[in-house]
Amino acid sequence: MGNPKIWFDIGTPFNCNLVDAIIKHLDSSYDILITCRDHDHIIEILSAKKMDFLAIGKHGGKSLNGKLKAYAERVILLTDVVGNEKPDLLITERDPSAVRTAFGLSTPAWTVFYDEREYWTNWMVFPLSDKIFVPHFYDPPELEQNGVTLNRVTWFNGFHTAFLKDTWSQLNAKNNSSQDKLRILIRPEFEFATFFNTEKKPILEQVVSLLVENNYDAEIVVFPRTESQQELFSKYPSVTFIEENTMDCPVINVDLVIGSAETMLMEAFVLLKPAISAIYWKQSKPVQYLLQYIDHSTDPQTVVKLAEKYFDKNERDKFSHKAKEIVDKMDNLGFLIAEEVKKRFS
């Protein structure tokens, strides 16, 4: 018999970094197949990480029609590829097309419970999942309402992003190097998400405008999700953009994160960086948990005032110290999943 073949399917930028972390905890006795969809810089991120992957399908956009067609088309494309590759296990955050393909081809699927607001997506994914990794702050009724069978759950402590603890050594190296001016990362909202059914508010645009007007000695970096977001922030000449990700999570290279990106706010906290939430829609359970520890406001002027506090390195260090006490107790999801893989094939 050959090596077990693990199929990873990637549908979000978060999943790029998680898959990378899992693979780093596996050894050469496993064959790896990576598929992804063309969405939100995923291809650029995987390319920067020098990971071998197959780009199959794309995001369906805002409309339900488009989402359904993209799902169906991707199932067809994945069926041909995966049918030839014959993997022994699928690991994905919660991509419906990958999980449906795996189920149809009798391949076990392991998934991650992330967001109770994605009700319909969850019911397409978790009833077909053989193992589901779930953070401790969800309770059984919430999971059952989202299609999770409790005896298939593997619990973990803390945020999904806690695998980023593996990169703390890189943070120490950066912190000990010569400091440039303060870098502020702005990450806009995910307008294509099914739960984003609220009217868009220009909070971050106004925050950036205030930061530019006040002419702080800081570099403002925006990580847009779409071309329209890039155009929106391009009117500020002093603003720079992350157009293609580096091998690392971009939060590693900044000092403060302001945004409406739930995952990136959690990444910032795990990486011991001050973060300010400007989320103005219904918060997920992970975000409710996160807001115990980071600042939050939907008023642009208040957000800027909160940011000013962290221009002081002593304040940033105080935040880092408190965050580390909490994150130290969190499970490394990348390591946990890798250990479960080793148990399955031992």
Give the mean pLDDT of 112-132.
95
Q: Which domains does the chain have, with CATH numbers?
A: 5-157+331-344 (3.40.50.2000), 167-327 (3.40.50.2000)
Assess whether pLDDT exceeds 80 at residue 83: yes
Residue 65 is predicted with a pLDDT of: 81
* pLDDT of the residue at 172: 62
Give the Cα separation of 157 and 333 in Å (integer). Answer: 9
Above 70 in pLDDT, residue 195? no
Mean pLDDT of the chain: 90
- pTM, entire model: 0.90
Determine phi and psi for 148, rounding to 5 degrees. -90, 125
Question: Exposed, middle or buried: residue 339 (CB in 10 Å: 0-12, 13-18, 19+)?
Answer: middle
pLDDT-derived band at 63 (thresholds 50, 70, 90) equals low
pLDDT at 244 over 60: no
Model pLDDT, residue 224: 86
Mean pLDDT of 200-205: 91
Q: How confident is the model at residue 36 (pLDDT cuts 50, 70, 90)?
A: very high
Q: Can you tell me the mean pLDDT for 109-136?
A: 95
